[in-house]
């Protein structure tokens, strides 16, 4: 291991395992790419964005002018960032990034190039340029995620639903794929709150949110629409498949062992499904799903209905 210590950053660099010949790098003018060139380029480019992927893309490009780089891998668990640029390989240098007590994730540069003293100095300078913009980008990402998330259940909120539906309907139209929305409303939720208190109601909403996430694919999305009502966005899902998913969730909620103190309380939900019709406004799609939901309510609750 070759430790690098900068002003506020400690980075551990693991030695690469392969031994290719060193590739001299050049500046745009054709002369050797020197440390001052690197710092100037990174300082300018890393001020251009607060998006983590763009910052690391700039970093990847500039480091590629110093050495042979096959790919770059970055992970930051707290903000659920996992990014691969280029191609991953077994020969890699690992960087654990932190600053002033803030963990900024793990950065891997995939390269078999030997770490010379000159290259170590250049990489240290590159990381010194990256670390503050990266921290700012992660803070920005956290703020954006918080603004799009329901604090009680951890699901997306109404704003996130609107943004996701806008994106998903465009993808469905462009690729001629199905897209379905399921609206879910807890049955007799006011009674649960009145009899057992709002803490029990909040716990039920969190439990239902977790259950839905477990029942869905990774590409599907759950949003709290308001109160005890949720919206599920199911990409590439037909009307028939959406009804099957909704019925599976309904049955799972009915069988959920939900305890209030030592007493088990039965939960149930009604669900309405609607499938996107090419060109229809988002409000219309949601209204059709909501109308199907209220049809399920009027028909006796604890069931699934589908829009025409």
Q: Where residue 28 sits, what CATH number does that domain have?
A: 3.30.450
Q: How confident is the model at residue 18 (pLDDT cuts 50, 70, 90)?
A: very low
Domain containing residue 201: 158-306
Is 49 found in the same domain as 76?
yes
Q: How confident is the model at residue 261 (pLDDT cuts 50, 70, 90)?
A: confident
Is 112 found in the same domain as 208?
no
205 within domain boundaries: yes
Is 201 found in the same domain as 292?
yes
CATH code: domain of residue 184? 3.30.70.270
Is 137 found in the same domain as 164?
no
Is 211 found in the same domain as 264?
yes
Is 143 found in the same domain as 165?
no
| Given 62, 113, 168, 228, the catalytic residue | 228
Is 199 found in the same domain as 85?
no
Write out the H or E segment, with its range, that includes residue 127.
Answer: helix 117-147
Is 198 found in the same domain as 117?
no
Quick check: 35 pLDDT over 70? yes
Boundary of a domain, candidates 147, 167, 192: 147
Is 50 found in the same domain as 143?
yes
Q: What are phi and psi of 163, to 5 degrees?
A: -65, -45
Q: How confident is the model at residue 111 (pLDDT cuts 50, 70, 90)?
A: confident
Is 40 found in the same domain as 138?
yes
42 within domain boundaries: yes
Q: How confident is the model at residue 27 (pLDDT cuts 50, 70, 90)?
A: very low
Is 183 found in the same domain as 62?
no
153 within domain boundaries: no
Residue 51 a catalytic site member = no
User: Would you give the DSSP letter of residue 277?
Assistant: P
User: How is residue 25 written in tokens?
Assistant: 């790098």
Interhelix angle 198-215/239-254, rounded to 10 degrees, is 140
pLDDT in tens, 176-208: 999 999 999 999 999 999 999 999 999 999 999
Rounded mean pLDDT of the chain?
87
* Domain count of the fold of the chain: 2
Average pLDDT over residues 149-157: 93
pLDDT in tens, 66-94: 888 899 999 999 888 999 999 888 878 88
Name the residue among 104, 94, 99 with its Cα closest to residue 142.
Answer: 104
Would the pTM of this model clear 0.85, i.e. be above it? no
């Amino acid at each position: 291991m070759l430790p690098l210590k900068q002003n506020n950053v400690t980075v551990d660099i693991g030695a690469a395992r392969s031994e290719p010949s060193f590739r001299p790098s050049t500046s745009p003018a054709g002369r050797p790419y020197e440390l001052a060139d690197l710092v100037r380029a990174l300082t300018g480019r890393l001020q251009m964005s607060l998006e983590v992927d763009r910052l690391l893309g700039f970093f990847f490009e500039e480091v590629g002018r110093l050495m042979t780089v096959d790919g770059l891998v970055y992970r930051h668990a707290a903000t659920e960032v996992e990014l691969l640029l280029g191609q991953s390989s077994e020969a890699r240098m690992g960087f654990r990034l932190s600053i002033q007590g803030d963990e900024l994730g793990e950065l891997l540069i995939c390269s078999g190039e030997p770490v010379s003293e000159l290259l170590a100095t250049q990489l240290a300078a590159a990381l010194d340029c990256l670390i503050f913009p990266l921290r700012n980008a992660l803070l920005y990402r956290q703020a954006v995620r918080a603004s799009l998330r329901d604090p009680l259940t951890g699901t997306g909120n109404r704003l996130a639903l609107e943004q996701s539906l806008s994106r998903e309907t465009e993808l469905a139209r462009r690729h001629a794929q199905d897209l379905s929305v399921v609206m879910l409303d807890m049955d007799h939720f006011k009674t649960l709150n009145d009899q057992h208190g709002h803490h029990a109601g909040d716990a039920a909403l969190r439990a239902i949110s977790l259950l839905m996430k477990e029942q869905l694919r990774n590409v599907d999305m759950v949003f709290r629409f308001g109160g005890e009502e949720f919206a599920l966005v199911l990409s590439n899902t037909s009307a028939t498949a959406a009804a099957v998913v909704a019925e599976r969730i309904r049955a799972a909620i009915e069988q959920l062992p939900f305890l209030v103190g030592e007493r088990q309380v039965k939960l149930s939900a009604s669900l309405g499904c609607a499938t996107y019709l090419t060109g229809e406004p988002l409000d219309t799609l949601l209204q059709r799903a909501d109308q199907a939901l209220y049809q399920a309510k009027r028909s006796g609750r604890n069931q699934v209905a589908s829009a025409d």
